[in-house]
Structure 1
Amino acid sequence: MIAALLSPMVLFFGLGAFAALARSDLAIPEAVGKAMAIYLMVAIGLKGGVAVAAEGFTTELAVATILGLLLSVALPLPAFWLLRRLGRQSATDAAAISAHYGSVSVVTFVAGIEMLKLAELPASGYMIAVLALMETPAIVIGLLLARWATQQGGVAASRLAHETFFNGSAVLLVGSIMIGLVVGNDGYAQVASVFEAGFRGVLCLFLLDMGLIAARRLRETRSLTLRLGMLAILVPIMNGSVGTALAAMVGLGIANAAAFGILAASASYIAVPAAIRMALPEANAGTSLAMSLGVTFPFNVTLGIPFYIWLARSITVS
């Protein structure tokens, strides 16, 4: 945990958060932030596709895929209940927030993969494919929860499907995985110098930007109560523990169990907000982002990821 907290990624995130809380004028231009996000998603997608192409479609990949889909469908349900009972949220807001916590954060996963490497526990390349598959089902479950609880009609299925499956992050990540599958190691070698040498440096700068955004969002929002702040930590711990334990139980190994914990604990703040904004415009987007980006993301990057790695080691060893 100490090594993770002192890693360059976490320290740069902390620097950004400190600058925002100190009301510094430090800022990363939005266009630069988007460019770094594109770079990171392409890099992680390419690497995942190349790894899957090298390893082949194995039984372990099939088990991981099924587990990832089941988690993405199931995780919004307890989150919805907790948000209704303890968070005192309306059905619509609880459904919107639960969709965020059932889906995944690419940046949290990338930071987790790097911390796993520092711990000499590299996760399998197919976990990138699991990441891509886990983005969408939680959105559908969240919307179904909202319609069930409020008995309202929904937005046109075609519009929702387009926003869900063809948002920018989904297209870029899945497309990069497919390209990696097609080109394999030989093709990737032609661009490896770009996506290998600069990856950790760009990740540090991106996390600096995320620290600025997260702290400013937390400072400015007025909809984040103490109860919701506590749930923004409790829900990822609960989800991450379940994901880690299930992955260890099915024999995916320490590194992949920790990676599953990181995926299950992360909360989307890119893909899900775009879909929810269109399908549930009445939901309070500020609350969802304040919880997922302002509380859960900093918690996972600093304390959560080391905890899931420790838990994976403990469960697998025992």
Structure 2
Amino acid sequence: MIDLGASLLSPAVLCFVLGAAAHGLRSDLRLPDAMFSVLSAYLMLAIGLKGGAALAATPFAAFVGPAAGALALGCAIPVWTYALLRRLGGFSAADAAAVAAHYGSVSAVTFAAVIDGLGRAGVGFEGYAAALLALLEAPAILIALALGGLGGARGGAGHGGTEGALGRVLAEVATGKSVVLLVGGLAIGALVGPSGLGPVKPFFVDLFPGVLCLFLLDLGRVAAERARDFRAAGPWLALFAVLAPVVHGALGVLVAYGTGMSQGGAVVLGTLAASASYIAAPAAVRLALPEANPGLYLTASLAITFPFNIVFGIALYAAMARLVYG
């Protein structure tokens, strides 16, 4: 199982740290935007293809319980996150909804990091985990933005009020690059099955860890750049951005245990629950809640929670799973 020492010394984590250090040293290290876009597309499609092929070989009865548990988490997390930020944090409806959308949704790159770590540690997990990732991508965003509308946020009302804004958000999320590649990859993988995936395995499976390292190298730089907005987030939100993933990760592990997933699967679901979106959610929030402060939701999700999960969190959720599974 993954431990903290192995996690800290993994190539993916060290590449992330290198990217952050390069920014601190004012290096000109930076991947071209076009290359960053290609790498992100590769990761989404590779995750989808592998997950779809595994899903094709999974009995429906074995998938339905974990899927229902994951979906329940994805719907509940934005509700209590929004309430907490409104009541204890004193956030406006728009800012609370924006942060809740990010923390209810998931980070596909954090998912890629945990499956890479489990693979290096030789720990098995349910191959259909990518389908859980797809299930968790959108519902939380829609729920959080609906709460923001009910709480008095303008919600980009323009034409049609909150309902019109949510409709536009649904279209934005459903047609976004990450969702199209992930869901499309799942469908292709399910259609061709494990044997059909064989011809492209050297590219989409064997090269996956190396591509992840390159992607995290640049994300380390991006996270370090966002860290300059730490003051805008404030100490309360910074504390939330560290404690929320710990609580959500523990809940994910417990849900996995209760729905019959393996110990490795519990690490994956715990990591998914603990992660925060910084790709799909920002685009939806900018569309539906233009008055929300990006210095809050982007700094919390990308500059605090993402590095915490990559460097420490995955090992922590693995330790939680060991404790629960005995």
Q: CA deviation at 1:220?
A: 4.5
Deviations 1:166-220 (A, max 9, x none): 1111111000100001111232112111112211111001000110000111125
Deviations 1:100-147 (A, max 9, x none): 000000000110111122332222111100100110110111111101
User: In the alignment, what sits opposite 1:163?
Assistant: 172
Deviations 1:37-65 (A, max 9, x none): 0111111110001111123x332200011
Structure 2 distance, partners of 1:162, 1:250, is 31
Structure 1 distance, partners of 2:169, 2:18, is 38
Moved more, 147-156 or 227-236: 147-156
Structure 1 distance, partners of 2:190, 2:258, is 29
| Structure 2 CA distance for partners of 1:172 and 1:278, relative to 1, 3 Å | same
Q: CA deviation at 1:275?
A: 1.0
Map 1:1-318 to 2 at 5 A. Answer: 1-55=4-58, 57-150=59-152, 153-154=161-162, 156=164, 157-220=166-229, 222-317=231-326
Q: CA deviation at 1:88?
A: 2.8
The residue type paired with residue 110 of structure 1 is A
Q: CA deviation at 1:227?
A: 1.3
Q: CA RMSD in A?
A: 1.4
Q: Helix, strand or coil: the match of 1:154? A: helix
Length, aligned pairs only: 316
The residue type paired with residue 40 of structure 1 is L
| Structure 2 CA distance for partners of 1:118 and 1:197, relative to 1, 3 Å | closer
The residue type paired with residue 234 of structure 2 is T
Structure 1 distance, partners of 2:315, 2:247, is 15
Asked whether the 8 Å contact 2:74–2:105 carries over to 1, the reply is yes
Q: Helix, strand or coil: the match of 2:28? A: coil
TM-score by length of 2: 0.93
Moved more, 83-92 or 20-29: 83-92
The residue type paired with residue 61 of structure 1 is F
Paired-residue identity, %: 47
Moved more, 150-159 or 230-239: 150-159
Which ranges of structure 2 fall in alignment gaps of 5 or more residues? 155-160
The residue type paired with residue 162 of structure 2 is G
| Structure 2 CA distance for partners of 1:147 and 1:25, relative to 1, 3 Å | same
TM-score by length of 1: 0.96
Q: Helix, strand or coil: the match of 2:233? A: coil
Moved more, 29-38 or 280-289: 280-289
Asked whether the 8 Å contact 1:99–1:142 carries over to 2, the reply is yes
Q: CA deviation at 1:313?
A: 1.1
Asked whether the 8 Å contact 2:141–2:284 carries over to 1, the reply is yes
The list of structure 1 runs, each at least 4 consecutive aligned residues, that deviate by more than 4 angstroms after superposition, is none
Asked whether the 8 Å contact 1:87–1:231 carries over to 2, the reply is no
User: In the alignment, what sits opposite 2:157?
Assistant: none
Which ranges of structure 1 fall in alignment gaps of 5 or more residues? none
Q: CA deviation at 1:86?
A: 3.7
